[in-house]
Structure 1
Amino acid sequence: MSVLKVIEVLSSSEVSWEEATQKAISKASKSVKHIRSVYVQEQSAAVKDGKISEYRVNLKITFELE
């Protein structure tokens, strides 16, 4: 039987929501092992001068405890 844990992570990117998500997973995987899935809970963006200046994501990362 495996036991899973969920953590909430916030990330941002100047390029896209996809890149913000990938940055969060890459950073989390340096200290969290056995990541099983990611759930994008919320997406938002900052706007400057009528254009999107930053893409933001709120993620839930699920991983297996050893």
Structure 2
Amino acid sequence: MLLSNEPGTSQQTGCWAYSTKRKENAMTIARVTEISATSPDSFDDAAKQGIERASKTLRGIKSAWIKDQNVMVEDGKITEFKVNLSVTFVLDD
């Protein structure tokens, strides 16, 4: 897949165009959405839980990247690991 950041497909709209070999001269349009997820165990677990939950309502998830991560602290101890994810999914035809 080739990512295109052409005008109208930039972060302004949250949509990206992907070139695929599904159909001749066809383009697949993807959208990026942001989610937050937490876990008491680790950043890795928070990311896994976030993707698992997003998969229940978003079809066609192709990728995700961690934009930010931080911890919640109480009484000097880490209580939760939090990740902010950008999730890319392909829009239905």
TM-score range, shorter chain: over 0.9
* Residue in structure 2 matching 1:46, options 64, 72, 78: 72
Structure (1 or 2) with the larger CA radius of gyration: 2
Cα distance in 2, alignment partners of residues 7 and 33 from structure 1: 12
RMSD (Å) for aligned C-alpha atoms: 0.6
How many residues are treated as equivalent by the alignment? 66
Query: With structure 2 as the length reference, what TM-score do the two structures score?
Result: 0.69
Q: Which has the higher strand share?
A: 1
Query: With structure 1 as the length reference, what TM-score do the two structures score?
Result: 0.96
Question: Deviation per CA, 1:36-56, whole angstroms, max 9, x where unpaired?
Answer: 000100000011222211000
- Of structures 1 and 2, the one scoring higher in RCO (CA 8 A, sep 6+) is 1
Cα distance in 2, alignment partners of residues 5 and 38 from structure 1: 11
**Identity of paired residues, percent?**
38
Residues 27-46 of structure 1 aligned to structure 2 (within 5 Å): 27-46=53-72
Structure 2 unmatched ranges of 5 or more: 1-26
Where does structure 1 differ by over 6 angstroms across 4 or more consecutive aligned residues? none
